Structure 1
Amino acid sequence: MKRTLFLGLLMLGLGNFAFAQEVSFEEYDLPNGLHVILHQENGAPVVTTSVMYHVGGKDRTEGRTGFAHFFEHLLFEGTENIERGKWFEIVSSNGGINNANTSQDRTYYYEVFPSNNLQLGLWMESERMLHPVIDQIGVDTQQEVVKEEKRSTYDNRPYGQFLAVLGKNLFDVHPYKDPNIGYMKDIDAATLEDVKAYNKKYYVPNNAVLVVAGDFQIEETKKMIEDYFGPIPRGADIVRNYPKEKPITEQKIATAYDANIQIPAIGLAYRTPGFRERDAYVLDMISTYLSDGRSSKLYKKMVDDQKQALQVGAFNIGQEDYGMYLVFALPVGETSLEVLQTEMEEEVAKVRDELISERDYQKLQNKFENDFVNANSGVEGIANSLARYYLLYGDTNLINKEIDIYRSVTREEIKEVASKYLKPNQSVIINYLPGDKTEN
């Protein structure tokens, strides 16, 4: 039995070692500015094709919020060579899956096909970039789709507006003040001319990265990429100059209402640096220390021991220009929001004022090592990471070396960063209460 246990542990260790090995890739630019990243892994007959565009919810003019998310839907409508409504049918009938998602900073499209359909995936993404059909029928259709998504996922879902309330109260002038999905009035106001201009500006090769990951042949794939994407014209250079926020120097208190909830919530919110900054990595570790798992400080204290909270958590919400840090709780029974605020602030203060224990520090390091291994354990996740690290961080090889940043963070640095950003006078207290909400 001991021998069996030893062999099991040995195999587990070897398995982790295999998954954690360095991710190899090749990257280059086409003359039109499209950045290409290739990760060859021939262990299974599947391949991911993906395109990430450097456009998100923050890329809009006043009165036209939500355009990037709207385009996430619109660019599935069809192309000059793909009939309207046939995109998903083509993918599924060829053994593939596909999806897309949009953040405040980028939009990501991807397909996963059997490797013998790589050419199909490349052709479809080149069609999306070069030949999208953008007409009034598509605009009208997707306006209704997006509005229904907003109603079901945000407006009529318990706590669905909390993230929007967070942005509204942490930002005064930066576009992060508005929700990624936009406002109803802006979605309704979008004209065909607005939409065409937005596509011409942002959905161009020099504002995108193409990733192919999985089972393929390098030279053959390069030839297909050149054939399909090479003829796409370069767009005008994109210049971003978003207004800077003034520091928060006095604690603010905000109240918001949600007709979909019966239990109130409270959040301690802080504006933090963008995710490229080293301090943002440290804040990731602080949020994990405070609330990841049942043994974390906030959960053990407020849920298990003191029975004050139904849920409690700390989240470092990473964004390109500024981050948002949130400590959030729902009360049990008659526990007041003021009590929850006091208890949460007490735990945050401990991180500011004291070094975390060596034991907790090692647990943190183990958790981030494990997350690093899992993130790179499949070609679909690797494709996403390669695109994100290149487009948003400017360093594709972070896929291999980002863990070294976490490894280098010290207990002293955790205390220093908490003291720098998580102070009461730099916070916004958000009381999120049951009641009528304002339609937007």
Structure 2
Amino acid sequence: MIKNLKMAALALVCSAAGIAQEVEFTEYNLDNGLHVILHQDKTAPVVSTSVMYHVGGKDLKNEKTGFAHFFEHLLFEGTENIGEGEFMSVINSNGGSFNATTSLDRTYYYETFPSNKMELGLWLESERMLHPIIGESGVETQNEVVKEERRRSYDNRPYGNLLQVVQGNLFSKHPYKDPNIGYMEDLDAATLKEFNEYFDEYYAPNNATLVVAGDFEVKETKKLIEDYFGPIPSGNEVNRAFVEENPINTKVTDTFHDPNIQLPMLILAWRTPGMATKDAKVLDMISTILSQGKSSRLYKKLVDDQKQALEASAINLAFEDYGAYAILSLPQGDTKLDTLKKEIDEEIIKLQNETISDREFQKLQNTFEKRFVNANSSVSGIAESLATYNVLYGDTDLINEEIEIYRSITPEDIKRVANEYLNENQRAEIYYLPKKDDVE
């Protein structure tokens, strides 16, 4: 059914944000469980076709990591009807663009074509779902690709293992403790049988959401979707057991040595609620208060005024089951990491004890209004938002309604959340240091 939501709820709030247009969409299920979302927009002759699978780095196979990220690559190898290595060339030769990404919670594939090539996008994604070739050759090829990515983006990149270190300190049981890319020894040890079993378990229509957004005719597109995706057999129901972590009640201290850096980094990290909670959105706002822009509290204090840091950033990493909140700082000159820690703690304590000013709060609201508008300013952005809200939040309507959650946040909420989650005894203090020759 068409989601007709109130335009008044998405009207002009500030001149910087402009007008947030309602995103209308139709959603329904095929008999095999595939969830379909259609968003028609004829302002430009382009169409985005995307599929989001509810599988990510947290979904292990026989306790082996990295399978979902591996499949992000592997499912471009070819199908029964697309030759090896031809998937991407087919897209390029038809004027399209494409990408795929894997997070700890989901995998997302999309193509954007001229609108007269919309059917091609549907065929490609149906081929990926129904007819992939998962064989020794493709597995070996992509294993080398992933190893090179691991070397380039993690092991040989300055601060490349930062997120892995944060996750490992905040989680001890949940699969979020492991890197999204996985450990190479796990992929080396994986069998072809395990790869095929993993595909059968997670890459079925009942674990996927298809989004078509852009310039198309609804009736014609529904028929094409039924033709291409309707015959794909439904898979078994995916059973996910939530892995509960014990609360962190005592400060964790860790040191990591990185051979690729010259400057040390201080990382303060907390485990926080999952992305669907209101408190996760309050933490987004706290990050903005602390470190977005040169007038933010940490940047102005540590970088501009006191010249103690080259960089100070607060980041809210909202995952499906839990979140990870981190404050990162690079010292300037002879500033000690413990000095930065003391200065950062002063700002956290201010948030816990002082209500932010009306002026700062209004600026914060304006920032999130603008961010909301920008996220849905393109067909491909709308497509990803629709898929994300459906798969990870269980509520596609949030594409129009989530801004109301941010609007409902008060200065008292900011103070409450800072007191509830950002305490010293609940965090990991990580000293991310240059590796010396004598350090193993």
Question: Please, what TM-score do these two structures have when normalized by structure 1?
Answer: 0.95
Q: CA deviation at 1:14?
A: 11
Q: How does 1:230-269 map to 2 (within 5 A)?
A: 230-269=230-269
Match of 2:79 in 1: 79
Q: How far does the alpha carbon of each residue in 1:89-140 deviate from its partner, in whole angstroms, 9 at most, with x for none?
A: 1000000001100000000000000000000000000000000000000000
Aligned to 2:386: 386
The amino acid of 1:214's aligned partner reads G
1:21 deviates by 1.2
Which amino acid in the other structure matches residue 16 of structure 1? G
Name the SS of the counterpart of 2:267 in structure 1: strand
1:16 aligns with 2:18: yes
Q: Is the 8 A contact 2:16 2:370 kept in 1?
A: no
Aligned to 1:304: 304
Structure 1 pair 351–139 and aligned structure 2 pair: CA distance change class (3 A): same
> Is the aligned partner of 1:126 residue 2:126?
yes
Q: Unaligned regions of 5+ residues in structure 1, if any?
A: 1-9
Do the aligned partners of 1:47 and 1:379 also contact (CA within 8 Å) in 2? yes
Report the CA distance between 1:184 and its aligned residue: 1.5
Q: 1:406 to 1:373 in 2, by over 3 A?
A: same
Corresponding residue for residue 323 of structure 1:
323
Q: Secondary structure at the match of 1:105?
A: coil
Q: Map 1:8-407; keep pairs closer than 5 Å.
A: 16-17=18-19, 20-61=20-61, 63-407=63-407
* 2:18 partner SS: helix
- CA separation of 1:214/1:299 partners in 2, compared to 1, >3 Å: closer, same or farther? same
**1: distance between equivalents of 2:357 and 2:427?**
26
Counterpart amino acid of residue 348 in structure 1: I
C-alpha change, 1:14 and 1:180, in structure 2 (3 Å) is: closer
Q: Is the CA contact 1:254–1:431 (under 8 Å) kept in the aligned structure 2?
A: yes
Cα shift at 1:418:
0.7
d(CA) in 2 for partners of 1:297, 1:187 = 43
> What corresponds to 1:3 in structure 2?
none
Distance, in Å, in 2 between the alignment partners of 1:310 and 1:208 is: 43
Q: Deviations over 1:210-242 (max 9, x none)?
A: 000000000000000000000000000011113
Query: Using the alignment, how far apart are the partners of 2:345 and 2:243 within structure 1?
Result: 30
SS in 1 for 2:224: helix
Q: Which amino acid letter does the alignment assign opposite residue 149 of structure 1?
A: E
In the TM superposition, residue 59 of structure 1 has moved relative to its aligned partner by 0.2
Q: Could you list the runs of 5+ residues in structure 2 that have no partner in the other structure?
A: 1-11
**Letter in structure 2 aligned against 1:275:** M
Task: Indicate if the aligned counterparts of 1:389 and 1:395 stay in contact, CA closer than 8 A.
Answer: yes
Whichever residue aligns with residue 202 of structure 2, its letter is Y
TM-fit CA distance, 1:354:
1.1
> 1:388 aligns to what SS in structure 2?
helix
**Mean CA deviation greater in 73-82 or 186-195:** 186-195
CA contact (8 A) 1:257 1:437 kept: no
What is the aligned-residue identity percentage?
62
Cα separation, 2, equivalents of 1:413 and 1:22: 27
- 1:141 Cα deviation (Å)? 0.4
Matches of 2:201 and 2:124 in 1, distance apart? Answer: 20
Q: Distance in 1 between matches of 2:17 and 2:67?
A: 43
- Could you report, residue by residue, the CA deviation over 1:341-389 in whole angstroms, capped at 9, with x for unpaired residues? 1111111111111111111100100000000111111100000000000
The whole-number CA distance in structure 2 between the counterparts of 1:395 and 1:270 is 27
Question: CA–CA distance in 2 between the matches of 1:13 and 1:132?
Answer: 49
Amino acid at match of 2:83: E
Does the 8 A contact of 2:61 with 2:198 survive in 1? Answer: no
Compute the RMSD of aligned alpha carbons.
Answer: 1.8
In 2, the alpha carbon distance for the partners of 1:226 and 1:348 equals 53
Residue 243 of structure 1 and its aligned partner are, at CA, apart by 2.1
Q: Which amino acid aligns with 1:270?
A: W
SS at match of 1:268: strand
State how far apart, in whole Å, the 2-side matches of 1:437 and 1:201 are.
Answer: 45
Counterpart residue identity of residue 226, structure 1: E
> 1: CA distance between counterparts of 2:33 and 2:349?
48
The alpha-carbon distance between structure 1 residues 80 and 367, as it changes in their structure 2 partners (threshold 3 A), is same
Matched-pair contact (CA < 8 Å) for 2:268–2:427: yes
The residue number in structure 1 matching 2:424 is 424
Corresponding residue for residue 7 of structure 1: none
* 1:219-278, Cα deviation, whole Å (9 max, x unpaired): 000000000000000000011113210000011111111000000000110000000011
1:116 maps to amino acid:
N
**How far did 1:16 drift?**
2.8
Provide the TM-score with structure 2 as the length reference: 0.95
Read off the aligned partner of 1:83 and give its amino acid letter: G
Aligned residues: 428
Distance 1:352 1:62, change over 3 A: farther
Paired residue secondary structure (1:269): strand
2:404 alignment partner, SS class = helix
Asked whether the 8 Å contact 1:72–1:100 carries over to 2, the reply is yes
1:437 Cα offset (Å)? 10
Q: Aligned AA for 1:262?
A: Q
Give 1:62 shift. Answer: 5.5
Closer, same or farther in 2 for the Cα pair 1:436/1:136, shift >3 Å? farther
Offset at 1:13?
5.7
Q: Residue type matched to 2:384 in 1?
A: N
CA contact (8 A) 1:270 1:427 kept: yes
Q: Is this contact kept in 1: 2:42–2:215, CA < 8 A?
A: yes
Q: In structure 2, the residue corresponding to 1:16 is in which secondary structure? A: coil
Once the two structures are superposed, what CA deviation does each residue of 1:36-71 show, in whole Å capped at 9, x if it has no partner? 000000010000000000000000045410100000
Contact 1:50–1:383 under 8 Å retained in 2 = yes
CA distance in 2 between counterparts of 1:61 and 1:109 reads 21
- The structural deviation recorded for 1:172 is 0.5
